[in-house]
Amino acid sequence: MKAIFYENHGGPEVLQYGELPEPEVRPGSVKIDVKAMSVNHIDCFLRGGLERVTIPFPHIPGCDAAGVVVEVGRGVSDHKPGDRVLLNPCVNCGHCEFCLRGDASLCTRFQLIGETTSGTSCERIVVPGRNAIPIPDDMTFEDAASIPLVFVTAWRMLITRGRLRPGEDILILGASAGVGIACIQIAKVTGARVIAAASTDEKLAVCRELGADELINYKQEDFTRRVRELTNKRGVDVVVDYIGNDTWVKSLKSLVRGGRLVTCGATTGFDPKTDLRYIFFRQLEVIGSTTGSHNELMAPFKLICDGKMRPVVGETYPLADMASAHVSMEARRAIGKIVVRVSA
Ligand SMILES: [Zn+2]
């Protein structure tokens, strides 16, 4: 099968386009003919090499995908060849302490497809049957492939972990990127007032289209000062900060007393200088979150199917040009998701 893979860590130039053996279907699993996949920051971080993650080479990158079921393994009764599906990239054991209490993303044997296992930028992939989720006939594979990781991550971060409530003010940094566009829409559906911050007016225009109430161009104005103006010096209830080093202390300073900072990543660096005085005197909560459970994906997916939210695909590339997709991701240029077409 055609695949994108790499045999050593490095920049986008290590990505190779070529032939790899097609995987065999296993009991309990399904084989998918991948039509489209989408790129996430983690694809680029893994390609560059992460300190505590060892991956076997050749590695096929990619967590998100959508396609058609072509073969079902023994014991799978809820799928058949021809089903159109998207993939839930989160694989958990189902019986550890954390799975049993519903926190699949805390599973002691948690795996993200495309992280330590073979990923989605190839023509065929085998995944556990329960990770294939049927999509409506009128949903394109490109749209479907753009949904899973960012929407499950945003839902768990804002709703489960961040406890966002109607009427609250939320500041979303990096609001036009993949997780950001999911956060804006989930916050609006919840009934919060959304302050979206991004680096260009073009990106902010899309945030406005998605329902953001207030816009901040943080290249042109200090977002903490602007948040104070917009909230009559009160501060926001929740800040979403997956930027990290560049924004951390300013995010803390944007919160109301007792406010919550939620984070699911650190795209500009993971070791920011912090100011503990803000955290204890103002009784702030710093809340970490990562990926999510089946239910935390199904909740936003249902809202998308009902037309209450929508996927946002900013750029598309052919499979052979994955390197350009990674370059764009690292430049944080795209508005919304970067999708790669895998097969016709
Ligand atoms: Zn588990």
Secondary structure in 3-state letters for 279-339: HHHCCCEEEECCCCCHHHHHHHHHHHHCCCCCCCEEEEEEHHHHHHHHHHHHHCCCCCEEE
Vertex 143, ends 146 and 60: CA angle to 5°?
45
Q: What is the reported pLDDT for 52?
A: 83
Positive/negative CA dihedral, 64, 211, 315, 175: negative
- For residue 303, report the distance from its CA to the centre of ligand 1, in Å: 27
Q: What is the reported pLDDT for 331?
A: 94
Q: What is the reported pLDDT for 267?
A: 86
For ligand 1, a single-atom ion, the residues with CB < 5 A are 92-93, 96, 99, 107
Q: What is the reported pLDDT for 116?
A: 87
Segments of the chain with pLDDT less than 50 = none
Q: What is the reported pLDDT for 159?
A: 98
Token duo for residue 163 = 């406890």
Alpha helices in 58-136 (DSSP H): 97-100
DSSP 3-state percent helix, strand, coil across the chain (nearest 5): 30, 25, 40
Query: How many alpha carbons lie under 13 Å from residue 122 in its C-beta half-sphere?
Result: 28
Across the chain, how many H-helices and E-strands are there?
11, 17
- For residue 189, report the distance from its CA to the centre of ligand 1, in Å: 30
Q: What percentage of the chain has pLDDT greater than the value 70?
A: 100
Q: What is the reported pLDDT for 53?
A: 85
Give the phi and the psi of residue 153 in degrees, each rounded to 5: -65, -45
- For residue 249, report the distance from its CA to the centre of ligand 1, in Å: 34
- For residue 150, report the distance from its CA to the centre of ligand 1, in Å: 21
Q: What is the reported pLDDT for 198?
A: 96
Q: What is the reported pLDDT for 51?
A: 84
- For residue 91, report the distance from its CA to the centre of ligand 1, in Å: 9
- For residue 100, report the distance from its CA to the centre of ligand 1, in Å: 7
Q: What is the reported pLDDT for 262?
A: 98
Positive/negative CA dihedral, 170, 174, 177, 179: negative
Q: What is the reported pLDDT for 69?
A: 98
- For residue 191, report the distance from its CA to the centre of ligand 1, in Å: 33
- For residue 199, report the distance from its CA to the centre of ligand 1, in Å: 39
To 10 degrees, what angle do helices 148-155 and 178-190 make?
50
Kindly report whether the global pTM for this prediction surpasses the value 0.95. Answer: yes
